[in-house]
């Protein structure tokens, strides 16, 4: 995932929000009079609120991996500010002409930061390959990977991964796993503890390259995830005396732009679950 765009948007928003909050606290009385003669306590309440919001944004920006859900929540709060500003400007007799321009200017800047944050959020899972490669990459709109270094040798961990029916031993959400077919017609059907079922067809399994690629049957009427198309795969590589296991997913979400904005949230949840799955596989391979 590419975090710089989202991190920079959060930082910029934090600086603007913090400066605005300080201005409201320090100059509450003259600002209130200049903007329309309303009670200064309104700015006195908004100012500390903006400082808290700025602190929240800075904490998120300082994380090694900002939380996508927090970034989405910040953007929703920004859009709420813009909507409130529009209502305030439309209300007769509340603002002076100068106050109207100030509120509109601030709302425009807030709107820009909200849009920047959403663009950074979308960029986290944007599929940059867009062409098929030997690793099974697709033209799906979204993508992410999970990387884990393990202690087991490449052949040992691959020996566990390629036994397709054993995923249920390591992926905690699964209740049952069934593998049917053979050769080039292998299907793995999984069921989780919620009773949701889905099937994955093996597109390729290369023991020499230690690579597996899968296509999820998203056309099944009971497919439980909000994807129109979905692919995934595993690779095992030796690097500098270590073993790196990679799980990749590429998919196109339903619901258009909303789905694409929600993709990073799904990716973060899946990333945590699959990282733990790899670690369990590592322990089994070592044993």
For residue range 129-150, what is the model confidence (pLDDT) as tens digits? 755 444 447 889 999 999 999 9
Each domain of the chain, given as residue ranges in start order, spans 4-123, 142-286
Instruction: Say yes or no to pLDDT of 233 above 70.
Output: yes
CATH superfamily assigned to domain 142-286:
START domain (3.30.530.20)
Q: What's the rounded Cα separation, in Å, for the pair 39 and 61?
A: 34
Least confident of 77-86, 154-163, 239-248: 239-248
The three-state DSSP-derived secondary structure of the chain is CCCHHHHHHHHHHHHHHHHHHHHHHHCHHHHHHHHCCCCCHHHHHHHHHHHHHHHHHHHHHHCCCCCHHHHHHHHHHHHHHHHHHHHHHHCCCCCCHHHHHHHHHHHHHHHHHHHHHHHHHHHCCECCCCCCCCCCCCCCCEEEEEEEEECCCHHHHHHHHCCHHHHHHHCCCEEEEEEEEECCEEEEEEEECCCCEEEEEEEEEECCCCEEEEEECCCCCCCCCCEEEEEEEEEEEEECCEEEEEEEEEEEECCHHHHHHHHHHHHHHHHHHHHHHHHHHHHHHHC
Contact 50, 25 (CB under 8 A): no
Give the confidence band of 220 by pLDDT, cuts at 50, 70, 90.
very high
* pTM attached to this predicted model: 0.88
**155: Cβ contacts below 8 Å, ≥ 6 apart:** 210
For residue range 158-179, what is the model confidence (pLDDT) as tens digits? 999 999 999 999 999 999 999 9
What is the mean pLDDT of the segment spanning 113-127?
A: 96
pLDDT for the residue numbered 130: 57
Q: What's the rounded Cα separation, in Å, for the pair 22 and 54?
A: 11
Give the confidence band of 32 by pLDDT, cuts at 50, 70, 90.
very high
Instruction: Say yes or no to pLDDT of 98 above 70.
Output: yes
């Amino acid at each position: 995932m590419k975090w710089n765009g989202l991190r920079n948007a959060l930082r910029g928003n934090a600086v603007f929000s913090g400066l605005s909050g300080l201005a409201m606290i320090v100059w509450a009385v003259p600002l209130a009079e200049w903007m329309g003669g309303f009670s200064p306590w309104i700015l006195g309440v908004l100012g500390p609120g903006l400082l808290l919001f700025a602190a929240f944004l800075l904490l998120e920006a300082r994380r090694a991996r900002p939380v996508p859900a927090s970034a989405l929540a910040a953007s929703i709060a920004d859009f709420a500010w813009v909507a409130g500003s529009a209502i305030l400007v439309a209300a007769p007799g509340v603002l002076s002409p100068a106050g109207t321009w100030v509120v509109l200017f601030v709302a425009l800047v807030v709107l820009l930061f909200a849009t920047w944050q959403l663009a950074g959020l979308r960029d986290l899972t944007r599929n940059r390959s867009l062409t098929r490669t030997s690793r099974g990459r697709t033209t799906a709109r979204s993508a992410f990977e999970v990387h884990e270094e393990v202690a087991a040798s490449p052949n040992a961990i691959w020996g566990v991964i390629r036994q397709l029916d054993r995923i249920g031993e390591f992926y905690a959400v699964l209740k049952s796993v069934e593998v049917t077919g053979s050769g080039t017609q292998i299907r793995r059907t999984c069921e989780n503890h919620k009773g949701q079922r889905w099937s994955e067809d093996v597109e390729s399994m290369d023991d020499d390259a230690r690579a597996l690629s899968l296509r999820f049957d998203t056309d099944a009427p009971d497919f439980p995830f909000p994807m129109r198309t979905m692919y995934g795969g595993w690779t095992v590589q030796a690097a500098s005396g270590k073993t790196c296991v990679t799980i990749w997913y590429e998919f196109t979400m339903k619901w258009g732009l909303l789905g694409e904005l929600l993709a990073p949230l799904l990716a973060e949840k899946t990333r945590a679950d699959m990282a733990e799955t790899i670690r369990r596989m590592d322990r089994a391979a070592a044993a």
